[in-house]
Amino acid sequence: MKKQILLAEDDAMLASLLNYRLEKGGYEVVLKNDGKEVKDWLNQSLPDIIVSDIMMPYFSGIELVDYIRNDLKSTIPIILISSASNEENVLSAFEMGANDFISKPVSPSELLVRVSREISRVN
């Protein structure tokens, strides 16, 4: 059974690159490109791991972490990606309960390694 990744990224080029690489890595990818779509989808189903951009329309990655940890009471791994690698964002993401952080430009190979590491910690 393939592990399911929710990929939340509003940059279409990056999203398709990461989607391709994650699928080649053996994952089932659910791609959403704004925070509202992500939240609606999470109310129906929970993936094995979430990879989300911090800066997204409607609902930021930080708000997403807060929502998953506090509203949904879920401990699924969350990896955040962002070009705004200012320390404040990263720190508040970790304080909210994010598991990992990658700054853009994202190396798809590095992302695969980190996803695999977070998923293996859960199982």
| pLDDT at 16 (0 to 100) | 95
Predicted TM-score (pTM) of the model is 0.93
pLDDT of residue 56: 85
pLDDT under 50 in the chain at which residues?
A: none
pLDDT of 123 reads 63
Q: What is the pLDDT of residue 60?
A: 87
- Go through 64-94 and write b for each residue having 16 or more CB atoms within 10 A of its CB, e for each that does not: bbbbbbeeeeeebbbbbbbeeeeeebbeebe
